[in-house]
Amino acid sequence: MMQIKLCMVGAFAVGKSSLVRRYVQSAFSEKYHTTVGVKIDKKDVTVDGATTRMMLWDLAGEDAFCRLQTTYLRGSSGYILVADGTRAHTLDVALDLHGRIELELGRLPFVLVLNKEDLAAEWAISGERITALETRGIRILRSSAKNGDGVEAIFAHFARVPTEACAE
Amino acid sequence: MTPADAEPRTAREWHRLRSLLLGHERDSLAALRASVGDPDSLARSVASVLPEAAAIRVRQDDGLARVLVPVVEDSLHRSVRENPRPLVDALYPLMGPAIRRSIAETLAEMLQAFNGAVEQSLSFRAVSWRLDAWRTGRAYADVVLLKTLVYRVEQVFLIHRETGLLLGHCVADQVVVQDPEMVSGMLTAIRDFIGDSFQVSSADGVDAIRLGDLTVLVRVGPQAILAAVVRGNAPSTLGLQLSEALETIHLSHAAALAAFDGNMQGFADLDSSLRPCLRSQSRAPESGRPWRAYLIIGALAAVIGATALVRHRTQTDWNTVIAELRAEPGLTVLEADTSGERHIEGLRDPLARDPLTVVGAEAIRRLGISWHWKPYLSMEPALTQRRAQLLLAPPSGLSLRTDGDVLRASGVAPGAWLVEARRQAPFVPGVRAYDDQGVTLDTRPLATAAVYFEIGADTLSPARRARLDTLLPTLVAFVSAAAELRRGYTLEIVGRADTPGTTESNLRLSRSRAEAVRSYLVAHGLPASLLRARGVGAAEAAAANAHAYTDTDRRVDFHLAVSAADPAHGDAA
């Protein structure tokens, strides 16, 4: 069996925790976010008969008062950048984080997840911007923590071939 | 030919001569020069013989070592300065054991000294531990450790240092655990958190997290972290053991650790390395025998036994007291109550012994006996005898004893007492019959009662009458008692003569002397039937004094005689 460490990063209140809450095994409460700054969950994903155990490091959301501790990303096989599709600046924060992570830890596989897809009416990110990002080779997934759409796909992406994203 | 021409020609000739003479050697010389002159080829040549050359030189002297020392030192310094990690990683499996061995030896010495000091101490705890050591057959130091260090290693985590992923996990029996993989991650996160927050260098990191009686001991290796969750007071040796286990794993799984990419296949056999770390020590070392239970049971048995013994003894004593009281004449136990206080209700003859004397005051006090005696008359022979003694007041020489309900008197007694006793004995309670057959009349009063005569005289002169008058009360009392007793007693009046004179005249004289006294006594009211007079002449006097006589030979004296014919002789009830 394979075990990998995955991190979830993003701005404050983009729905990182909600994204995983219903789909992972959890032993710790959310208060760890405000204390230690990270909460660890577990998710087993089986693709083509091979199970990968993902240890999900759900890092506290970055805001004006709390900077991301990149130490937590050390040893990670990849990370999930989460942005709120209804708040454009959260995408900026996510991309900023991505830049900082690459600067400190080098290139790692990652996906950009645009959450709250269910709130289509309030969608604030233009298709052009998404296309531009995809052109840069950034893999973008859409999800809804509310109805669960796209959530499994995020994990499956890393389960399949963790190094695939890196090749881009 | 000019010298100028000659010179080149000479040189050319020399050259030809050389090539003629040296030929091949010249070429190889040129090749040799080229190889020595070219650094690359020279390096290749030296490299091929360098180890051998070094070996030869080392055998010769220490010149090589002398030259190399500063070089090696400088290299090490530079390596540490630039990047200590490779050197630390390389030395890690060696340094730990070396340092520990040195520390362990120092500690062993200290412990020995400390042990000596402890062994000298005689506190209660030390004594009880020593007792435990003796009882369980352990070394004293072991017992001290057992008593002071109580802990249990509940879980052991082997965590990949870089990723925080769990490589191996071991859990003690009956320990409830959270998901070890998540705990492993969280533990790494917390170490990172503390390291980042408090500027702890990542090489050392956090080596223990303590909360209440729970301690997480952490040992950090180059590639992996070993964390042990300990409940209780972990001994310092546990940290050592963890370090050793971690070193062993680093050695045995060096390749798998260095190339770890999340593949768990290389770490399936970690259990044998981790499980020995699940140590525990309990506070109460169970010995083979449940001494405490033995002691309690023993004490209980002793108490029960003692109680039973006391109870048994008390009961026995009580029974003895009752038996003694019942056996005592004149005491009758009516009721012996043991339901509450021990109490006796009974009857007591006033002449019976004091019950306190019978059973002893000590027994009464010990058993807490109270009693109440009502007076009564006991008809028991012993009491009857005592009562008769008291009422009849027998003279000395006479004893009274009871034979059933018959009171028997024996010995010698004055006639008056005998008469009185016969009258009173039937009134003594308990006496049905009185028997004084065994009593002889006290004749001592008669022994001195004699009347003396002058030579040849047989009449009662005034002096002799006066003498008889003084004897009269004794004689009257004697005779009347004799009559009363009706045993056929008679008073024998014996007349005597002295030896001079014929036997016949003496006999006659003695008879008439006796008759004269008898007549006088009859005249003074003594019953004639009980008086018998006889003369014995001088026979007895002659027998007593063969050649002489005395004045006292002529006399009349008195004796008791028993008439066999008396019909009343026998019991005089």
- The answer as to whether B87 is a domain residue is no
| Among the partner residues A40, A52, A74, nearest to B185 by beta-carbon distance | A40
Residue partners of A46: CB distance under 8 A and separation at least 6: A52, A159
SS3 B97: helix
Integer Cα distance of B165 and B180 in angstroms: 10
**Domain of B322, in residue numbers:** 293-375
Interface contact flag, A55 B178, Cβ < 8 Å: no
Interface contact flag, A5 B181, Cβ < 8 Å: no
| Residue whose tokens read 């033995």 | B294
pLDDT tens column, B433-481: 998 888 888 888 888 888 888 888 888 888 888 888 888 888 888 888 8
Residue, of B239 and B118, whose pLDDT is higher: B239
- Number of domains chain B contains: 6
Predicted confidence band at A162 (pLDDT cuts at 50, 70, 90)? very low
Do B63 and B123 belong to one domain?
A: no
Contacts of A75 in chain B (CB under 8 A): 160-165
SS3 A110: strand
Predicted confidence band at B303 (pLDDT cuts at 50, 70, 90)? very high
- The answer as to whether B201 is a domain residue is yes
CA atoms within 13 Å, Cβ hemisphere of B532: 12
Do B416 and B462 belong to one domain?
A: no
* Statement: residue B430 has pLDDT above 50: yes
* Residue B347, H or E segment: strand B342-348
Q: What is the 3-state secondary structure (H, E, C) of B495-541?
A: EECCCCCCHHHHHHHHHHHHHHHHHHHHHCCCCHHHEEEEECCCHHH
Residue, of B204 and B9, whose pLDDT is higher: B9
Integer Cα distance of A149 and B176 in angstroms: 36
Yes or no: say if A69 and A59 are a contact pair by the CB < 8 Å rule. Answer: yes
Predicted confidence band at B304 (pLDDT cuts at 50, 70, 90)? very high
Contacts of B197 in chain A (CB under 8 A): none
Closest C-alpha to B407, from B449, B440, B379: B379
SS3 B459: coil
Do B11 and B156 belong to one domain?
A: no
- Cα torsion through B564, B565, B568, B570, rounded to 10: 30
Q: Which of B246, B281, B316 is the last residue of a domain?
A: B281
CATH number of the domain that residue B404 is part of = 3.30.1340
- Name which of A4, A5, A158 to mutate to probe chain B: the one with the most chain B Cβ atoms within 10 A of its Cβ: A5
Residue, of B403 and B136, whose pLDDT is higher: B403
pLDDT tens column, A76-92: 989 999 999 899 889 99
**Domain of A16, in residue numbers:** 2-167
Phi-psi region of B212 (alpha: psi -120 to 50; beta: other; left: phi over 0): left
* Statement: residue B490 has pLDDT above 70: yes
- The answer as to whether B518 is a domain residue is yes
* Residue A103, H or E segment: helix A88-105
Residues in chain B: 573
Structure confidence at residue A81 (pLDDT): 92
Residue, of B197 and A125, whose pLDDT is higher: A125
SS3 B248: helix
Structure confidence at residue B290 (pLDDT): 63
Predicted confidence band at A110 (pLDDT cuts at 50, 70, 90)? very high
Interface contact flag, B192 A2, Cβ < 8 Å: no
* Statement: residue A166 has pLDDT above 80: no
Interface contact flag, B163 A76, Cβ < 8 Å: yes
The residue type found at B485 is L
Tokens coding B64: 């090589």
Chain B nearest-CA distance from A20, in A, is: 15
Residue partners of B259: CB distance under 8 A and separation at least 6: none
Residue partners of B151: CB distance under 8 A and separation at least 6: B230, B231, B232, B233, B234, B235, B238, B279, B280, B281
Yes or no: say if A81 and A98 are a contact pair by the CB < 8 Å rule. Answer: yes
Interface contact flag, B165 A37, Cβ < 8 Å: no
Interface contact flag, B182 A25, Cβ < 8 Å: yes
Q: List the 97-126 stretch of A: residues with Cβ below 8 A of B.
A: none
CATH number of the domain that residue A61 is part of = 3.40.50.300
Do B323 and B334 belong to one domain?
A: yes
Q: How far apart are the first and last CA of chain B?
A: 215
| Spacing of C-alpha B88 from chain mean position | 67
The sheet carrying A2-10 orders its strands as A25-26, A38-47, A50-59, A2-10, A78-84, A110-115, A140-142
Do B31 and B44 belong to one domain?
A: no
- Number of domains chain A contains: 1
Q: List the 61-100 stretch of A: residues with Cβ below 8 A of B.
A: 69, 71-72, 74-77
Predicted confidence band at B65 (pLDDT cuts at 50, 70, 90)? confident
Across the A:B interface, residue pairs with CB atoms under 8 Å apart total 75
Interface contact flag, B196 A69, Cβ < 8 Å: yes
The sheet carrying B555-562 orders its strands as B450-452, B555-562, B489-496, B531-535
- The answer as to whether B89 is a domain residue is no
Tokens coding B20: 């003629």
| Residue whose tokens read 């990303």 | A73
Do B409 and B341 belong to one domain?
A: no
Q: How far apart, in Å, are the Cα atoms of B2 and each of B7, B10, B71?
A: 8, 12, 62
- The answer as to whether B569 is a domain residue is no
